[in-house]
Amino acid sequence: MALFDKPKNVSRLLFLFYCSLILLLLAELFIHKHNAFPWEESFGFFAVYGFVSCVLLIFLAKILRLIVMRRENYYDR
């Protein structure tokens, strides 16, 4: 039986994942960063930047798929 088949294991892993995210965000309070730009000094900037970048990449991939994708019977003709 696989690890992710039991809902209890999935909820435990999600709990550990969210706890690690919170700990990493709180660790930002104690770590000195060498920022190149003033807006990088705000709390949680890199977490927000990474999230927004991933969302934009997903939307870009969906748009690119509409442009590049061929019909299902494209090669049968």
Nearest to 17 by CA among 25, 67, 42: 25
pLDDT tens profile 57-68: 999 999 999 999
Cβ 45 vs Cβ 29: under 8 Å: no
Mean pLDDT score of the chain: 91
Predicted TM-score (pTM) of the model is 0.69
Query: Which CA distances in Å does 52 have to 1, 23, 30, 42, 47?
Result: 36, 20, 24, 16, 9
